[in-house]
């Protein structure tokens, strides 16, 4: 797609959002819906039933060839070569110094065909970066960003609603973090049982021309259209990090609590390995924690965290939790102050807001009987 300098990109579902009367805003170079009906209404729809998000702005790259797995291991912190076809795993892609270029999800579709999903804001950077490195391997990088649409369907009723649209046999065959492909009205449909809300559900990728029809079919099945506003409040309640807030190139995975996506015992060479080995050995100087307000006030990104009047950290994400009815936030603190139960203060426009360090995450979905 050729776009004039400064112009915003449109996803294949842009027309559906406009028809809904969604409030559109610029985001990572795209015009995206921040809300369709209302952030709290959409948030509650996902927590109570099922909601869907246009996430077509996220980058999607397939990797084909005999060395596809080895290449993705080289650019991923987790040992993705352990995945069998139909498997997926969260990982990070790091610079040589261990700084996180992006947090990614890698899926193995077939023996020699893989999919890596990257953040929208990092898609051009990651595409160029991977293209430089793939030349060392017998593999080919295929950009599927513009040729496909991506829809995330999330909520306790998500699978039930998807049964009617995609087919119960296919939907119920997918276990958490698993993926598969099927045919939907003559179009190839990829589905993974993953998400970014703390709820169950599927993330779907389909050819761009079929995206609007799939969106409408999901809407007719009772799935509520949602925007980026609810997506952010949901992921914050689930304490899921956001690139640009909790994650950036000056942050290593251990600081964010993502040591579990770094595989160091397989002996494989990957970008950033030596730096991450050293970082693990020396420990972290700061830790990402969950903060819950003890009084009235809303903590926001950039607010200072204080202990006895001294600045000791910063809120990286914050807001009001519709589910919990209180302000919550994520932020970095020195390890000595990161213990659960610790009491601190957040500077909210010059006024101290008492907060407590609480277990991660803020919200866990109820277990079904």
pLDDT in tens, the chain (369 residues): 334 446 899 999 999 999 999 999 999 999 999 999 999 999 999 999 999 999 999 999 999 999 999 999 999 999 999 999 999 999 999 999 999 999 999 999 999 999 999 999 999 999 999 999 999 999 999 999 999 999 999 999 999 999 999 999 999 999 999 999 999 999 999 999 999 999 999 999 999 999 999 999 999 999 999 999 999 999 999 999 999 999 999 999 999 999 999 999 998 999 999 999 999 999 999 999 999 999 999 999 999 999 999 999 999 999 999 999 999 999 999 999 999 999 999 999 999 999 999 999 999 998 875
Q: What is the CATH number of the domain that holds 321?
A: 2.40.30.110
Q: Does residue 300 lie within any of the structural domains?
A: yes
Q: Same domain for 334 and 223?
A: no
Q: How far apart are CA 203 and CA 132, in angstroms?
A: 28
Q: Same domain for 177 and 233?
A: yes
- Report the alpha-carbon angle 266-270-274, nearest 5: 85
Q: Does residue 43 lie within any of the structural domains?
A: yes
Q: Same domain for 291 and 232?
A: no
Q: Judge whether 99 and 256 are in contact, CB under 8 Å.
A: no
Q: How far apart are CA 311 and CA 337, in angstroms?
A: 12
The count of structural domains within the chain is 2
Q: Same domain for 202 and 330?
A: no
pLDDT at 366: 87
Q: Judge whether 288 and 313 are in contact, CB under 8 Å.
A: no
Q: Same domain for 31 and 159?
A: yes
Q: Does residue 219 lie within any of the structural domains?
A: yes
Q: Same domain for 369 and 229?
A: no
Q: Does residue 200 lie within any of the structural domains?
A: yes
pLDDT at 4: 46
Q: Same domain for 23 and 160?
A: yes
Q: Does residue 72 lie within any of the structural domains?
A: no
Q: Same domain for 163 and 49?
A: yes
Among 199, 218, 237, residue at a domain's last position: 237
Q: How far apart are CA 38 and CA 10, in angstroms?
A: 21
Among 237, 267, 297, residue at a domain's last position: 237
Q: Same domain for 157 and 231?
A: yes
Q: Same domain for 326 and 207?
A: no
Q: Same domain for 224 and 341?
A: no
Q: Does residue 257 lie within any of the structural domains?
A: no
pLDDT at 135: 97
Q: Same domain for 159 and 303?
A: no
Q: Does residue 49 lie within any of the structural domains?
A: yes
Nearest Cα neighbor of 290 from 235, 244, 352 is 235
Q: What is the CATH number of the domain that holds 202?
A: 3.30.1360.120
Nearest Cα neighbor of 248 from 116, 91, 118, 99 is 99
Q: Which domain holds residue 224?
A: 14-54+146-237
Among 215, 237, 259, residue at a domain's last position: 237
Task: Write the CA distances from 324 to 82, 233, 328, integer angstroms.
Answer: 38, 11, 9
Q: Does residue 104 lie within any of the structural domains?
A: no
């Amino acid at each position: 797609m050729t776009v004039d300098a400064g112009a915003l990109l449109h996803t294949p579902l842009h027309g559906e959002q406009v028809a809904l009367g969604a409030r559109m805003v610029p985001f990572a170079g795209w015009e995206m819906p921040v809300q369709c009906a209302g952030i709290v209404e959409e948030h509650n729809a996902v927590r109570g039933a099922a909601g869907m998000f246009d996430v077509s702005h996220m980058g999607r790259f397939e990797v084909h060839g005999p060395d596809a797995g080895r290449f993705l291991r080289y650019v991923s912190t987790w040992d993705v070569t352990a995945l069998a076809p139909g498997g997926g795993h969260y990982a990070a892609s790091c610079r040589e110094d261990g700084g996180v270029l992006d947090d990614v999800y890698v899926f193995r579709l077939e023996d020699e065909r893989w999919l890596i999903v990257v953040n929208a804001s990092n898609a051009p950077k990651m595409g160029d970066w991977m293209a430089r490195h793939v030349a060392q391997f017998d593999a080919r990088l295929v950009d599927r960003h513009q040729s496909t649409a991506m829809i995330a369907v999330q909520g306790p009723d998500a699978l039930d609603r998807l049964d009617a649209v995609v087919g119960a046999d296919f939907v119920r065959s997918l276990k958490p973090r698993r993926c598969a492909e099927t045919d939907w009205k003559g179009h190839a449909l990829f589905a993974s049982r993953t998400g970014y809300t703390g709820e169950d559900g599927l993330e779907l990728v389909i050819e761009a021309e079929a995206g609007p029809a799939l969106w409408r079919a999901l809407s007719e099945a009772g799935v509520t259209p949602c925007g980026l506003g609810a997506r952010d409040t949901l992921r914050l309640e689930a304490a899921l990090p956001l690139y640009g807030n909790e994650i950036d190139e000056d942050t290593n995975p251990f600081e964010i609590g993502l040591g579990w996506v770094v595989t160091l015992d397989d002996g494989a060479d990957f970008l950033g390995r030596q730096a991450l080995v050293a970082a693990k050995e020396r420990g972290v100087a700061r830790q990402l924690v969950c903060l819950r307000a003890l009084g009235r006030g809303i903590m926001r990104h950039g607010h200072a965290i204080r202990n006895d009047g001294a600045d000791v950290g910063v809120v990286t994400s914050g807001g009001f939790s519709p589910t919990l009815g209180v302000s919550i936030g994520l932020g970095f603190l020195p390890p000595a102050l990161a213990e659960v139960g610790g009491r601190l203060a957040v500077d909210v426009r010059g006024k101290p807001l008492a907060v407590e360090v609480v277990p991660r995450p803020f919200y866990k979905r109820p277990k079904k009987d």
